[in-house]
């Protein structure tokens, strides 16, 4: 499996992906899930993938040459598109082409056509945009109310993103948040693993010079892994333990409403059974 997260902020974009593709007792392998398509000064586009590796690799290759025919216009590609929306359309077309080629054979083998993508970037003349593309090739776009997307093993790293991220979050804070989200996922799921690819894109630059591969020797990520767990324990220990009714007038877990009390059953002899 894998875990990827893409974040769109007022100040820029943050992308983070792991690289694990198999996880078993005796089989662990890695493969990069992130690919950058860049034309300096004109466009910056980044693609992350999750799901069946053979499907996502085929889509990435086809995407570079995929052409959408247009009436009375040059065929649309990721290199001449004037909006990220059109780039997402080309990506969706590439996904459908792979499905046409491989879908029947996968179905005959009892396998699902399973792939999902996060696509983000900026083309000169328009604002930054972020999309999530599904297996059928359809897609949705990030909004101010939902400024991030996750694919793969998303449930473990979602709570911190929900609590922290807003469009006004600074890039460095969002990067820290994404790394904590990844650490939470690594802690709880063996199918996600190092090394990680991290890219930070600053609005209006049409290129990214903040791209790093994070392995087990990275001092900042190791600091996060140790400090986050320690701080969580400190906060947990700082919250009062529950007190039950009748324990010296302390806080009670009981409610004044009988509607929320447990069901009770009284036997014919008058004995009360909870």
The structural domains of the chain, with segments of one domain joined by +, span 3-233
Q: How confident is the model at residue 25 (pLDDT cuts 50, 70, 90)?
A: low
Higher pLDDT, 146 or 24: 146
Using alpha carbons, list the distances in angstroms from residue 70 to 63, 76, 126.
17, 7, 21
Predicted pLDDT at 20: 86
Q: What is the pTM (predicted TM-score) of this model?
A: 0.89
Digit-coded pLDDT (tens) for 44-85: 999 999 999 999 999 999 999 999 999 889 999 999 999 999
Q: Determine the 3-state secondary structure of 97 from DSSP.
A: helix
Please report which residue ranges of 126-217 form alpha helices under DSSP H.
158-164, 171-188
Which helix H or strand E contains 12, and what residues bound it? strand 12-17
Give 177's contacts (C-beta < 8 A, 6+ positions apart): 7, 160, 161, 164, 165, 169
**265: pLDDT strictly greater than 80:** no
Residue with tokens 């897609």: 139
Digit-coded pLDDT (tens) for 135-175: 999 999 999 999 999 999 999 999 999 999 999 999 999 99
What is the 3 state secondary structure string of 75-90?
A: EECCCCCCCHHHHHHH
Digit-coded pLDDT (tens) for 180-212: 999 999 999 988 999 999 999 999 999 988 999
Helix, strand, coil tally for the chain in percent (to 5) = 30, 30, 40
Q: What class, spelled out in words, does domain 3-233 have in CATH? A: alpha beta
């Amino acid at each position: 499996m894998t875990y990827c997260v893409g974040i769109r902020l007022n100040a820029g974009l943050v992308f983070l992906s792991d690289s694990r593709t198999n996880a078993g007792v005796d089989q662990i392998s890695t493969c990069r899930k992130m690919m950058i398509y860049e034309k300096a000064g004109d466009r910056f586009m980044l693609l992350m993938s999750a799901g069946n590796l053979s499907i996502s690799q085929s889509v990435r290759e086809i995407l570079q040459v995929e052409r959408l025919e247009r009436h009375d216009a040059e065929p649309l590609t990721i290199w001449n598109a004037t909006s990220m929306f059109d780039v997402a359309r080309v990506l969706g077309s590439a996904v459908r082409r792979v499905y046409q080629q491989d879908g029947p054979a996968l179905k005959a083998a009892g396998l699902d056509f399973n792939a999902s993508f996060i696509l983000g970037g900026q083309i000169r003349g328009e604002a930054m945009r972020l999309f999530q593309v599904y297996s059928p090739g359809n897609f949705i776009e990030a909004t101010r109310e939902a400024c991030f997307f996750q694919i793969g093993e998303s449930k473990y790293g979602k709570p911190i993103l929900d609590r922290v991220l807003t469009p006004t979050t600074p890039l460095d804070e969002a990067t820290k948040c994404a790394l904590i989200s990844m650490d939470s996922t690594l802690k709880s799921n063996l199918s996600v693993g190092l090394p990680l690819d991290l890219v930070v894109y600053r609005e209006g630059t049409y290129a990214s010079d903040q791209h790093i591969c994070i392995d087990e020797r990275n001092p900042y990520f190791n600091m996060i892994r140790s400090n986050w767990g320690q701080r969580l324990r400190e906060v947990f220990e700082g919250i009062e333990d529950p007190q039950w009714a009748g324990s010296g007038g302390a806080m009670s877990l009981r409610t004044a409403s009988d509607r929320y009390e447990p069901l009770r059953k009284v036997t014919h002899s008058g004995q009360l059974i909870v």
